[in-house]
Amino acid sequence: MGSPDKAQKRPLSNKKLLLSKWTAVAPQNREKHFLVSRIHDPRDHAIPPGFVELEAVFTQRRFNIAIDDLLNSADWQIGWQSTNKEQA
């Protein structure tokens, strides 16, 4: 059985990335939960190759992030996770 880090480094298809949910490990400006709102489309150059557009659920702020950065478990967790403060 492989380690969780190894499983997370498998390439994600664009189909699975689109509308996927993410949690920032160190939230800033009350932005903790995010949704992948757009992916790279070769016909539309709005999102560069290897990047996706994240949208903050709370503020609706959008920004581009490299897929490799999104898969860094030190900064991002897959799904909408709660913090220890919320669980108490």
pTM: 0.80
The domain spans of the chain are 13-79
Question: Can you name the residues that pair with 76 across neighbouring β-strands?
Answer: 24
> 27-37 pLDDT, tens per residue?
999 999 999 99
The torsion angle over the Cα atoms of residues 39, 27, 21 and 2, rounded to 10 degrees, is 100
With bands split at pLDDT 50, 70 and 90, how would you rate the model's confidence at 84?
low
**Structure confidence by residue, pLDDT tens digits, 57-69:** 999 999 999 999 9
Alpha carbon separation from 49 to 43, 66, 72 (Å, rounded): 11, 9, 18
pLDDT digits (tens, 9 = 90+) for 43-59: 988 999 999 999 999 99
C-alpha to C-alpha distances, 79 to 15, 29, 30, 71, 73, nearest whole angstrom: 16, 19, 17, 12, 12
